[in-house]
Amino acid sequence: MKTHVQVAVIGGGVVGASVLYHLTKAGWKDVVLLERDELTSGSTWHAAGGMHTFNGDPNVAKLQEYTIKLYQEIEEASGQSCSIHITAGVDLAGTPERMDFLKLACARARYLGLDMEIISIDEAARLFPLLDRRHFVGALYNPLEGHVDPAGVTQAYAKAARNAGAEVHRFTRVTALNARPDGSWDVITDKGNIVAEHVVNAAGLWAREVGRMAGLTLPVLAMEHQYLVTGEIPEVVASPTEMLHVIDFEGEIYMRQEGRGMLIGTYEKAGVPWAERETPWNFSHELLSPDLDRIAASLEVGFRHFPALECAGIKRVVNGPFTFSPDGNPLVGPIRGLRNYWVACAVMAGFSQGGGVGLALSNWMVHGDPGFDVWAMDVARFGNWATTAYTNAKVRENYSRRFRIRFPNEELPAARPLRTTPAYDRLKARGAVFGASYGLEHALWFAPAGTEAREDVTYHRSNAHAPVAAECHAVRNAVGLLEIATFSRYEVTGDGAAAWLDRLLANRLPREGRLTLSPMLNENGRLIGDFTIANGGENRFVVFGSGIAEQYHLRWFEAHLPPSGVAIHSLRSEWIGFAIAGPRSRELLSRICRDDVGHEALSFLSFRPAEVAMLPAHIGRISFTGELGYEIWVASDGQLALYDAILAAGADLGLVHYGARALNSLRLEKSFGNWAREYRPIYTPVEAGIDRFVAWDKPDFIGRDAALRDRARRPMRRLVTFVVDADDADAIGDEPVWHDGKVVGWVTSGGYGHCVGKSIALGYVPAALANASEGFEIEILGERRRAAVQAQALYDPKGERMRLSQE
Ligand SMILES: Cc1cc2nc3c(=O)[nH]c(=O)nc-3n(C[C@H](O)[C@H](O)[C@H](O)COP(=O)(O)OP(=O)(O)OC[C@H]3O[C@@H](n4cnc5c(N)ncnc54)[C@H](O)[C@@H]3O)c2cc1C
């Protein structure tokens, strides 16, 4: 075994083997894989090997497509068969709601270039004769589904990597990891030690333990999972072609052909976690005791829906553990604060996702960027609030809901409330309906007095529609109050603060006492942040951004900090705030602030310390609503005093509470983009239409050269605003945009603009079409709706309202 390598991949399951293969493919040959037993000794060996392109996140769906299409390549590169069976698949709907869910999935697939199709139940029965059509209303047909041999795939990755120069050491267990001062790692194994410039935790069932070796608590947990293989089924034997892969959502079962019978798996509602605290090191190529009682209810539905199964008998039952993250997507990428430690774990569908995970991680390691949009599986989407107990509750919930419908307005209840602000109970008493964002409870909307604070889950406009409309109108016409705890805020201090931020951010820094908006770019000139920067004077800046990206941004900030002269820290638990917005917000502020808050003293984009409600505070004159508005920040222990003061001062001004739903409607009317929707690392500032916030003449900032090159050539696409001819269902995001009968783009977010009375969508289209106002359609719930591009924002396009000098 070598004593020094560029990369040590820990774990020889399908994921570690894929990472190894992709590293060699990207040109890194000095790489080893360390496996404590035989390859596939975790969850890989007993997997059912099923694969499909279905995923709630379109970017992960695309990676799944990549994975499936890769198998032929690794067979050729290795000479090892993967036993590829592309059978196609049907996903069966038993209710109209499920049909809506499938239509949405089908529409999303369209803009990704995935070739899915909604089919009738008669057609589904023709393709899969075992089903009893009385139980179904329709189906989604997916030509890219099937199954592979799990061991064959893992061996193929490993052999192909070995052919390219990698080493694979079986029966070599990593027992400890010690960080070295230069950022490399001492990898301690039971067969000797290696110094590795990088380590990859691809330890699957032991990812937690290998995380702990570096002091990490990774949000990952294994669940028991059962499938059974039936005896011979005459219809299967008689079929001239292999049976399709099938998902029956109502029965919560999946199926495929196995030999002369069928393999049936289920995600039971009361799923059972495995090895909740510690995965035993002596677990290898073992199965857990089957417990058919747990899956009996699903099987009964299965027997009703597919009568031929009932007489087939059970040949074999498999119960094995595999791992999940709290939201079910993989955990991939570098870890904040740990140099050269990478993760590729919590991959719950290794045969659909393993290839894409390997590609993304190897790109990230070799080129510094995953190369495509991996936000949905970036390990940084969880902060340290995602504890072991949180993970346990969320993983159970996620497992039990694997085949359930997730409605776009649905907030899942497990592990809540977890993080709350001091005002939580007060807001609740006002009728707040809460959502959780990055673990934090925040008000989505407020149920009017006398009505239940609960939202119906639906694909259509919900019972929140009218109350949200009232909130929006109050903001536009009087004044509204919004808790802004979900915004992230970071304090940057030190002699070098200004110079550092200037290089980090694409815009020029504001003068003292001012705010400015700035994108942050990566080296490729792509958007990795959109911030509001406040200059507090005396080498002190506050950077405000999206709360869900806190870990993601801190990872970037900290990785780019100079050795001295700059300090950055999150003010999340120190500062808390409220926004007040609307034409009467200045009047309200003047009642609770002793300082002059007139237009001259506190002009648009001012930021300054002030005394508000007897508290030391900071006021920023800015609002995401597009109205005159202020963000007021105080120490957390002053939040209730500030809240009470705002309520008392606003009572006769028509003050209302508003929540995230109203804010979304108001910002859509203004065509304001949002992080993780309009702004993501696949877009450039020119494409996203925020190039006016880039100081192109600044001599140096990260991503400048690439962004300049992008600006010089015609951008590929543009963000535009549409008005959609919608009925009672608005676009929500990820719908395809059609033009002249072809899918040309996608929606990033949508909703109803209550104050302009129109259904609005923001989305990307090819740049050549961005000025064509006609000919567009947006597909909502299976129907193509006419959509017209707007030349400017629908509400106050000149931005006069937010600059209001007087009421
Ligand atoms: C019953 C069942 C059915 C399934 N069906 C499907 C399916 O149809 N389709 C699908 O896509 N997925 C399926 N899965 C899930 C699939 O098995 C996993 O997604 C996949 O195996 C994850 O692979 P991995 O490489 O991340 O982890 P693992 O397979 O757990 O591999 C981790 C490896 O790391 C090694 N290791 C750990 N710690 C160390 C250490 N310290 N030193 C050295 N080596 C170490 C282990 O020995 C192990 O070999 C199924 C799972 C189960 C249990």
Q: How far apart are CA 357 and CA 16, in angstroms?
A: 10
What average pLDDT does the segment 627-655 reach? 98
Q: Which pair of structure tokens corresponds to residue 220?
A: 């990952």
pLDDT at residue number 397? 97
d(CA 68, CA 55): 14
Q: How far is the CA of 152 from the centre of ligand 1 (A)?
A: 14
pLDDT over 90, % of the chain:
93
Taking the centre of ligand 1 as the mean of its atom positions, its distance from the CA of residue 697, in whole angstroms, is 51
**pLDDT reading at 591 higher than 70:** yes
For residues 206 and 333, the answer to whether their CB atoms sit within 8 Å is no
Rounded distance from Cα 190 to ligand 1 centre (Å): 22
| C-alpha of residue 45 to centroid of ligand 1, in Å | 7
Among 407, 411, 377, 409, which residue's Cα sits nearest to residue 397? 411
Tell me, in angstroms, the distance from the centre of ligand 1 to residue 13's CA: 5
Helices (H), 380-432: 388-400, 424-429
Instruction: Give CA angle at 434 (431, 438), nearest 5°.
Output: 155
pLDDT for 363 beyond 60: yes
- Provide the β-strand partners of residue 324: 221
List Cα–Cα distances, 27 to 8, 31, 310, 341, 518, in angstroms: 15, 10, 52, 19, 36
> Taking the chain, what is the end-to-end CA distance rounded to the nearest angstrom?
76
Residue nearest to atom 25 of ligand 1 (CA): 13
Q: What is the mean pLDDT of residues 692-721?
A: 95
The closest-lying atom of ligand 1 relative to the alpha carbon of residue 347 is 19
Q: How far apart are CA 161 and CA 170, in angstroms?
A: 14
pTM: 0.97
Distance CA 737, CA 785 (A): 10
Q: Give, for 728, the enclosing helix (H) or strand (E).
A: none
**pLDDT tens digits for range 406-438:** 899 999 999 999 999 999 999 999 999 999 999
Question: How do residues 94-141 score in pLDDT, each as one tens digit?
Answer: 999 999 999 988 988 888 888 899 999 999 999 999 999 999 999 999
In the reported structure, the alpha carbon of residue 209 is separated from the centroid of ligand 1 by a whole-number distance in angstroms of 14
Index of the ligand 1 atom closest to the CA of residue 224: 53
**Cβ of 258 below 6 Å from ligand 1:** no
Per-residue pLDDT at 807 exceeds 60: no
Which of 54, 82, 205 maximizes ligand 1 atoms within 8 Å of its Cβ, making it the mutation to test the pocket?
Answer: 205
User: E strands of 130-282, at which residues?
Assistant: 138-142, 146-147, 167-169, 174-179, 185-189, 192-201, 221-230, 245-248, 253-258, 261-266, 273-274
Q: What is the pLDDT of the chain when averaged over all its residues?
A: 96
Atom index in ligand 1 nearest the CA of residue 344 equals 26
d(CA 605, CA 599): 11
pLDDT exceeds cutoff 90 at 269: no
Distances in Å between the Cα of 101 and the Cα atoms of 94, 245, 248, 408, 749 are 11, 19, 13, 10, 17
Say how many Å lie between the CA of residue 302 and the centre of ligand 1: 27
Peptide bond connecting 417 to the previous residue in cis, omega within 30 degrees of 0: yes
The answer, yes or no, to whether residue 55 has pLDDT greater than 90, is no
Closest atom of ligand 1 to 205 CA is: 30
Which atom of ligand 1 approaches the CA of 172 most closely?
43
| Token duo for residue 319 | 């119960």
pLDDT tens sequence across 377-410: 999 999 999 999 999 999 999 999 998 888 999 9
Q: Is the CB of residue 322 below 6 angstroms from any atom belonging to ligand 1?
A: yes
Residue with tokens 């949905």: 376
Residues 32/33/38/43 CA torsion (nearest 10 deg): -170
Residue 265 alpha carbon to ligand 1 centre in Å: 17
What is the rounded distance in angstroms from the CA atom of residue 570 to the CA atom of residue 157? 42
Q: Is the CB of 355 under 6 A from ligand 1?
A: no
The proportion of the chain whose per-residue pLDDT surpasses 70, expressed as a percent, equals 100
Q: Which residue's alpha carbon is at the smallest distance from atom 51 of ligand 1?
A: 47
Q: Which ranges of 165-280 does DSSP label H, i.e. alpha helix?
A: 207-212, 234-238
Write down the residue that tokens 């004769």 correspond to. 129
Structure tokens at 669: 């009317």
For strands 567-570 and 487-493, give the pairing: antiparallel
**Ligand 1 centroid – CA 494 distance (Å):** 46
**Per-residue pLDDT tens digits for 196-233:** 999 999 999 999 999 999 999 999 999 999 999 999 99
Q: Which of 44, 169, 218, 357 to mutate to test the pocket of ligand 1 (most atoms within 8 A of CB)?
A: 44
